Amino acid sequence: MASTTRHVLVTGGAGYIGSHTLVELLAVSQSGPIKYVPVILDNLSNSCEGNDEAARIPESVKRVGELASWDPIFHQVDLCDIDAVRQVFSKYPFHSVIHFAGLKAVGESVAKPLRYYQVNLIGAMNLMQVMDEFNVRNIIFSSSATVYGTPEKLPIPEDHPVGNCTNPYGMTKFMIEKFLMDQCKAKPDFNAVILRYFNPVGAHSSGRIGEDPRGAPNNLMPYITQVAIGRRPFLSVFGSDYDTTDGTGVRDYIHVVDLANGHVAALKLFEREKPVGCAVYNLGTGQGCSVLEMVTAMREASKVEIAYKVVDRRAGDVASVYGDPSKAAEELGFKATKTLKDMCEDSWRWQQQNPQGFNCS
């Protein structure tokens, strides 16, 4: 059977989730009837540029190429520069887009709301406008469970009310979802798959790629591993008096490789004869894990004591957030399979092999 080639634009492909998705996308291409050709667009605002001055390939993408025996196609472009985006679209016959690019730190968004609205919203609007100009009709959007705001019930289903966001980051995700839904209504042949993530953690099992935040980590797992490796003295645990099993906040953590495979499953929707329209899916495990449970699991994986201090709650934090992933299982055939032990062991392997992250600043 002859293979079908699909060019896929991956915005933010040099980032944490983007790079892991590239690995899984390339693996499917090697074994299946569809050959995906990823084209990466990234402005490197939160990625390591690498040491190859001639090719200017980001270090994460270079390592993906080594893992997948692949020659990366990379364009250093900012989505806010619409003419540069047009130039990329003019070079390739794109079948679909996976849109990861955007600013993503909740705390920073509270301090710099205008920057988040400018970068995330203008970038998404430019992307959608150029897609329309070049008749590209399929997009997967990297959304977030932050669109649900404070949960009214648990586990959170996709039809839970959205838009009551507690920070500007979440509000940008909600607004981009609305852009996509309105475009689907206006253009019957436009297909959008919105993936609402819960809390991505972990790393590729090789230890070659993983989460490498610039500055102090905003997420729990990289902060714990940096404490374990000695880069930070202790973990701050924000609150110990929540109505949970041990008093600390509970979240739904999903391994980044599972998350990447969720994107591959979503991409296959565009191969069906029936139009997708606008479809929304939670990507999570459906199970909650507390901060102290994560600390204990990492202690077991690393064999290192994790120092922590309990401090005051953060404004806006809620006791428990975890999703209902059953719709993705039923309609995408996707289910997270990796355990908390896998998440911690893979994160620790990445941190041990890369104590300073990609370390190519």
Active site residues: 169
What are the beta bridge partners of residue 224? none
Residue type, 71: D
Contact 49, 59 (CB under 8 A): yes
Of 245, 255, 257, 323, which Cα lies nearest the Cα of 291? 245
Radius of gyration of the chain (CA): 20
Which alpha helices (DSSP H) does the chain contain, by range?
16-31, 59-68, 82-89, 106-111, 113-116, 123-133, 168-186, 220-229, 256-267, 291-302, 326-331, 340-353
Cα gap 170→173, rounded to integer Å: 5
* Cβ atoms of 341 and 297 closer than 8 Å: yes
Residue 333 burial class via C-beta count within 10 angstroms: exposed 0-12, middle 13-18, buried 19 and up: exposed
